[in-house]
Chains A and B, each alone.
Chain A
């Protein structure tokens, strides 16, 4: 049972971080379909720090890994910003391109590093057994992960930002009615850049959190197994509202956690359902949930539409 809670919390953390990233980006008016790719690149940044940086201070390690993931995520999301905000490209296509680029790019990059160290090693895997432990505190049976705290703080900050600051108000205006924002002197391009970069930061953070959740090495060929898209489903089901996103993420996180720990429950184990069914659960649930809820969704009105100052 503790194991279920533990995995639920950590997977929910990933979903919350990434979904909040998507949420901020969409509130600014840019659909970020590249979250999946941003997660991969963020994870790569964090994993590289863990591979090459040696320290005994777990605080320093956490700080650097988190920073690396955030920076890499933001840099990668800048692609979306340049293409979609400045050059007014189609956001769906750019997001898809980013997803393809990220997995391929990360694989090539890691393979090159591995082969350089050992010519016989052509794997795309990074191991981080040691540093991983620094993220975890044992409390009895429960493995407490510092990312749970980070997520909670981020959730609070995003709520505060969106609803209590002027930049949050302006950001949302840009996603709902950019012409209105422009007419009161708000720079729509700037606010959208802000939204995209923040989603890059949160996506990158979610990426490193994801690969640290269960295992102590990561094979970059696998990407992040659709978690970026799952986060988008969480965001939609959460109606672009942070607290609802958090609740939905817990639900989805639980289904994902079940696939890790169902063996521990005699009742579920005795059902003799193949493990792949449990693995499929979060995705199937998201399909059902979206089919049922998308009709009533309140997406930001201007999302996906490039803003053109000249068009009035």
Chain B
């Protein structure tokens, strides 16, 4: 039977207790095409791919490969059928070499001893054929994220996989690396590999895919030829309404300095060197300053020293003219600093507390919530929580008494934002405020950040998403290896230029 389809997933239904993750979804992957799978968080993309990769068994529906029905019970079955996957979080052993990682699980042996010569030849040949430059003897922990991703791709090619699944592959890459990945994907497709590409970044999908299937809330919405559609159409399909991509912002002149960082040096948590080196900058009222850079270039340490989670060993941090370099976190909070932390589970919420208790975490000691004897005023807390839930549209199963752990990521983030913004801060520090959230929630959060700016507050944001950086900020600082290597006006720069600075290819002398 001749068919143009490499994989057909027909009428797949997968239920979990309480929800239908995939409701009668049909996905057909043509041979040699790049097929994007688009959807918000929780739309069922990952579940569908997990079904294809053998991690879940669907209740209904069948999977066909080359027109023949197959059963995929575990990842080994998927591998045997030539289905390979690059997971969002790489599955690489850090202290192994590139070569060892590629052959792991399919090693050649002779008399029980490993034979790596042939494997090395094959890997080198594959890397040349597809333009995937790697060093087979380098350790994973020493190479860049981009190269790690190439290792993951080579892992699939080494196993002669025909169908390649990429799960949000661009989330961790610089713009240059993304361009390179796009080239590699096109290259692979032209060599006859079929590619499934999961993403919620519309620009990439437009750029690289041939066709695009959209899922929403577990249901199949449709499949489009990418060439015949637009970003607006795709996003409307994905969200179910029209989304405003560009953050609406009025011109506004920044006024007084709120945060003044001078010659700040912070030790790294992982090694002995300084993660933040001699950094100086100012944040003024009425502006959003955004720190751009690739993850791991000192953002974490910089923010932690500003918010008080760690101490800088030299330099100074002034807020509203007062030196707070060594102040306690409570003091900083009371002075008007708000912090939307990067890791909302670790630093943002007490997951096993109720929503209302989480909402008063930073204010429980105020007379409104604690009486003179030191007991909590439960009634007031409930009233306060109900107001925030209403105002900030925090959705949860049981309202104020919902345990934070049981809430969705987007609503957890909304709770944090409600708490941090409602205390009317002078300075809002937001680290990756939209991480892992879908378009609708991102729009909501950006709106609130801009509102703060318009209310004459100072906002300091850290983001690894260039699009977000360009969109939201009034001023961009690029951090590379702990130093500020460039300062930009988002209206006068491009993502490409920022990318060069983020990768360390260019740098300016920057004065605060």
Contacts and interface: CB of A to CB of B under 8 A. Distances in A.
B114 A184 contact: no
Given A170-B105, A185-B75, A164 B92 contact: no
B93 A180 contact: yes
A177 interface: yes
Interface in A146-178: 160, 164-166, 169-170, 172-173, 176-177
Contacts of B114: 164-166, 169
A87 to B, nearest CB: 22
A247 B279 CA distance: 45
A177 B107 contact: no
Contact of A184 (B105, B109, B112): B105
Contacts of B231: none
A225 B107 CA distance: 43
Contacts of A298: 95
A183 interface: yes
A186 interface: yes
B94 A176 contact: yes
Contacts of A172: 93, 96
Given A183-B91, A185-B79, A165 B105 contact: no
A219 interface: no
B104 A165 contact: no
A56 B292 CA distance: 78
B113 A170 contact: no
Contacts of B103: 169
Interface in B102-125: 103-107, 109, 112-114
B241 interface: no
**Contact-residue size bin, chain B (C-beta under 8 Å from the other chain):** 20 to 34
A160 B113 CA distance: 8
Nearest to B74: A185
Interface string A67-110: 00000000000000000000000000000000000000000000
Nearest to B106: A184
A16 interface: no
Contacts of B414: none
Most buried by B among A160, A164, A173, A298: A173
A301 interface: yes
A173 B90 CA distance: 14
A189 to B, nearest CB: 14
A176 B95 contact: yes
B116 to A, nearest CB: 10
Contacts, number: 62
Nearest to A164: B113
B91 A165 contact: no
B100 interface: yes
Interface string B416-446: 0000000000000000000000000000000
Given A179-B91, A183-B91, A185-B75, A169 B104 contact: yes
B105 A176 contact: no
A205 to B, nearest CB: 22
Nearest to B112: A165
B113 A165 contact: yes
Contacts of B109: 165-166
B93 A173 contact: yes
Contacts of A31: none
B217 interface: no
A183 B104 CA distance: 10
A166 B107 contact: yes
Interface string B65-100: 000000000011001000001010011111110001
Nearest to A174: B93
Interface string B113-152: 1100000000000000000000000000000000000000
Contacts of A179: 91
A169 B109 CA distance: 12
A181 interface: yes
A268 to B, nearest CB: 39
Contacts of A169: 96, 100, 103-104, 107, 114
Nearest to B108: A166
A298 B141 CA distance: 13
B95 A184 contact: no
A184 B113 CA distance: 20
B92 A177 contact: yes
A172 B129 CA distance: 31
B155 interface: yes
Nearest to A183: B91
Nearest to A165: B112
B104 A181 contact: yes
Contacts of A312: 55
Contacts of B100: 169
Contacts of A184: 79, 91, 104-106, 155
A164 B87 CA distance: 28
Nearest to A160: B113
A176 B104 CA distance: 13
B109 to A, nearest CB: 5
Contacts of A165: 109, 112-114
Contacts of B113: 160, 164-165
Interface in A293-311: 298, 301
B72 to A, nearest CB: 13
A172 B105 CA distance: 12
Given A164-B113, A165-B114, A181 B96 contact: no
Contacts of B105: 170, 181, 184-186
Nearest to B46: A312
A179 B91 CA distance: 7
Contacts of B112: 165
A186 B95 contact: no
B42 to A, nearest CB: 16
Contact of A173 (B75, B87, B96, B106): B96
A164 B94 CA distance: 18
Nearest to B107: A166
A180 B93 CA distance: 7
Nearest to A166: B107
A169 B106 CA distance: 11
A166 B107 CA distance: 6
Interface in B187-212: none
Contacts of B96: 169, 172-173, 176
Interface of B: 55, 75-76, 79, 85, 87, 90-96, 100-101, 103-107, 109, 112-114, 155
Given A173-B96, A186-B104, A312-B55, 9 more contacts: A165-B109, A165-B114, A169-B96, A177-B91, A177-B93, A181-B93, A184-B155, A186-B105, A301-B95
Interface of A: 160, 164-166, 169-170, 172-173, 176-177, 179-186, 298, 301, 312
14 contacts: A165-B114, A166-B114, A169-B96, A173-B96, A181-B104, A181-B105, A183-B87, A183-B91, A184-B91, A184-B105, A184-B106, A185-B105, A186-B104, A301-B94
